[in-house]
Amino acid sequence: MSLDQLILALATELQLPELSLNANGTCQLVMDDNLAITIEDAPLERSAHLYAKVASTPDTGREDFFAALLEAQLFGREVGEGCAFGYERATGEILLCRKISLGAVDESTFSQILTEFVNWAEHWSTKLSGSEEESTKSELGGDGFSLHEHFIRA
């Protein structure tokens, strides 16, 4: 399926008819009015990229900060399948990213992947903001994040 078709199905599922890719091939979901998940088409790769800002780099303790991110990423210890951290030097932002190959993805799988990604982005955004207690509540056990419960706008 194409990303356009998957987004259309997601828009129907979430009852958001305005949800679609813009002229730049991206769309954004804002969860709980503070976590922006960007979906970007990569047509030459027949894939899509999901990404979200989960933190800004700290002014002090940067070595420990980056070491903790790398440690969490080691063997997927504390990030979702296919997820990785990225650093945008120009803005000082830490992004959680995931690439999705569109060749074998249907609407249900896309929704599941997106929901899992939102869970991890919420986890890391909360954890890196210093609110450890809240981050343990949003871990991906039985009480995981649901797109339907927290979606605010497209």
pLDDT digits (tens, 9 = 90+) for 105-121: 999 999 999 999 999 99
- Could you give the percent of the chain with pLDDT greater than 90? 73
Q: pLDDT of 69-80, one tens digit each?
A: 999 999 988 998
The answer to whether 1 and 46 are in contact (CB under 8 A) is no
What does the DSSP 8-state code read for residue 106?
A: -
State the pLDDT confidence band at 147, using cuts at 50, 70 and 90.
very low
Phi, psi of 67 (to 5 degrees): -65, -40
Cβ burial, residue 27 (10 Å; 0-12/13-18/19+) = buried
Which CATH number applies to 3-153? Answer: 3.30.1460.10
pLDDT for residue 143 is more than 90: no
DSSP secondary structure, 47-67, as one string: EEEEEEEEEE--SS-HHHHHH
Q: What is the rounded average pLDDT of the residues 117-138? A: 74
Ordered strands of the 26-31 beta sheet: 83-88, 93-101, 47-56, 35-42, 26-31, 151-153
- Kindly report, residue by residue over 18-40, the tens digit of the pLDDT: 999 999 999 999 988 889 999 99
